[in-house]
Amino acid sequence: MSDTAEDRAEEIVTPSVRYGPRAAMRIAVASLVPACVLIGGGLVAAARPVYALVGVAGAAGCDRLPLVGCCAEPTTTIPPSPF
């Protein structure tokens, strides 16, 4: 969740504060697409297309999709370290 109002009050200039949350998301997606194309092209040139699919999926965040529903609210606590 964006803390745009708090950031403005503290004079912290993030892309979300400067351009608004929707524009910041558009900028993020617009930079993700060419990055995935470059990663995929590099992996096709260096390895095989299968590795390119895995690399692009990882760069796009597809590895986190199964965790979206289960990580919204933590149900367990991490025990303190004995050290």
In a domain, 31, yes or no: yes
Query: Residue 7 in contact with residue 21, Cβ under 8 Å?
Result: no
Nearest to 18 by CA among 10, 28, 8: 8
Q: Tens place of pLDDT for every residue, the chain, 83 residues?
A: 567 778 778 888 888 888 888 898 899 889 999 999 999 999 999 988 888 888 888 888 776 655 545 444 555 566 666 76
Domain with 46 in it = 4-63
In a domain, 27, yes or no: yes
- The total number of residues written for the chain in this structure: 83
Helix (H) or strand (E) holding 52: helix 49-60
In a domain, 19, yes or no: yes
In a domain, 80, yes or no: no
In a domain, 17, yes or no: yes
0.75 surpassed by pTM: no
In a domain, 76, yes or no: no
How far is CA 36 from its chain centroid?
Answer: 12
**Domain total in the chain:** 1
Separation of alpha carbons 37 and 40, rounded Å: 5
